């Protein structure tokens, strides 16, 4: 049964620590972006929204390199996560990525290109259809989306396209963590004479074929992207496969 958002917010607040409950709100963008109402319509189709402090978007307050801005989204404090959408209010291409934590925690690290200073947000949809939104402002000199990739100046990258490397930690403080790097130019299509060329989908599965996480990636992901997730319990190798918008595919296995 779907409840009115105000009732849902009251119920959520009753389950949260007092400090977090006090920060939970249904209106009034905490980041005071002039484009928030537009983002809610374009990205979230005008669906119900709660600004929720449990949604952590970790990024530098000032990014010196707008083509490689590290971002981590942590929604593990929220139960029943169905999907996570990451976007930047003032980027010329709003969508950064979307991920579905099917068998893994709702946690993902990656790097993005930013065209100018902007809020970077994560909207997390739970089973009741409500979007829980968190975010942070990132200040940068800009130009990350309209600068050519390093690969565009050389033909050598074609020989290494979709070359994959990875690591999986099975013990110690990082136990369960997985890191994947893919050689790809991730061209935005906003540079004259260079068409959009980017990864579109990546799927992580365990050795038995069970889906752990599915990613949909867009042009603002940084060149030669690196993704970090936490699979939880390590019970063997992790399989990763995917493709770009030109149909090029990759598949790899990452041993513990």
pLDDT score, position 56 = 98
pLDDT exceeds cutoff 80 at 152: no
CA nearest to 242, candidates 198, 195, 202: 202
Backbone angles phi, psi at 117, to 5 degrees: -60, 135
User: What percentage of the chain has pLDDT greater than the value 70?
Assistant: 90
Burial of 64 (0-12, 13-18, 19+ CB in 10 A): exposed
With CA atoms as reference, report the closest residue to 71 among 6, 129, 144: 144
The better pLDDT of the pair 214, 158 is held by 214
Residues 2-20 have a mean pLDDT of: 55
DSSP 80-147: SEEEEEEEETTSSS-EEEEEE-SSS-SEEEEEE--SSSEEEEEEEEETTSPEEEEEEEEEE---TTTS
So what's the pLDDT on residue 21?
Answer: 55
Give the whole-number percent of the chain exceeding pLDDT 90. 77
CATH pick for 35-40+47-254 out of 3.40.190.10, 3.40.50.2300, 2.30.110.10, 2.60.40.2470 = 2.60.40.2470
Output the average pLDDT for the chain: 90
Q: Which position has the higher pLDDT, 6 or 228?
A: 228
Least confident of 6-20, 147-161, 194-208, 219-233: 6-20
Say if strands 118-126 and 81-88 run parallel, antiparallel, or are unpaired: antiparallel
Q: What is the pTM of this model?
A: 0.90
pLDDT of residue 2: 46
Q: In this predicted model, what pLDDT tens digit does every residue of 37-49 receive, in sequence order?
A: 999 999 999 998 9
Lowest-pLDDT range of 16-20, 55-59, 133-137, 239-243: 16-20
Whether the Cβ atoms of residue 200 and residue 219 lie closer than 8 Å to each other: no
Checking if the pLDDT of 7 tops 70, the result is no
73-127 residue pLDDT tens? 999 999 999 999 999 999 999 999 999 999 999 999 999 999 999 999 999 999 9
Predicted local confidence at residue 12, as pLDDT: 56
Q: Say whether pLDDT at 5 is over 90.
A: no
């Amino acid at each position: 049964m779907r409840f009115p958002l105000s009732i849902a917010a009251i119920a959520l607040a009753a389950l949260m620590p007092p400090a977090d409950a006090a920060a939970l709100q249904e209106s009034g963008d905490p980041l005071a972006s002039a484009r928030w109402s537009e983002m809610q319509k374009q990205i979230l189709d005008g669906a119900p929204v709660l600004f929720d402090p449990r949604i952590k978007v970790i990024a530098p307050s000032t990014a010196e390199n707008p083509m490689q801005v590290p971002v981590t989204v942590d929604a593990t404090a929220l139960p029943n996560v169905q999907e996570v959408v990451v976007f930047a209010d003032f980027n010329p291409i709003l969508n950064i990525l979307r991920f579905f934590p099917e068998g893994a925690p709702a946690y993902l690290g990656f790097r993005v290109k930013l065209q100018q200073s902007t809020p970077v947000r994560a909207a997390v949809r739970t089973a009741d259809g409500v979007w829980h939104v968190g975010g942070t402002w990132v200040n940068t000199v800009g130009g990350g989306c309209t600068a050519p990739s390093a690969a565009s100046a050389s033909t050598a990258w074609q020989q290494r396209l979709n070359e994959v490397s990875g690591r999986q930690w099975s013990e110690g403080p990082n136990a369960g963590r997985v890191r994947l790097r893919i050689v790809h130019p991730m061209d935005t299509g906003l540079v004259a004479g260079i068409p959009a060329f980017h990864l579109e989908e990546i799927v992580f599965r365990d050795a038995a074929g069970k889906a752990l996480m599915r990613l949909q990636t867009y042009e603002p992901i940084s060149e030669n992207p690196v993704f970090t997730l936490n699979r939880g319990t390590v019970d063997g190798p992790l399989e990763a496969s995917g493709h770009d918008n030109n149909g090029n595919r990759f598949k790899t296995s990452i041993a513990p």
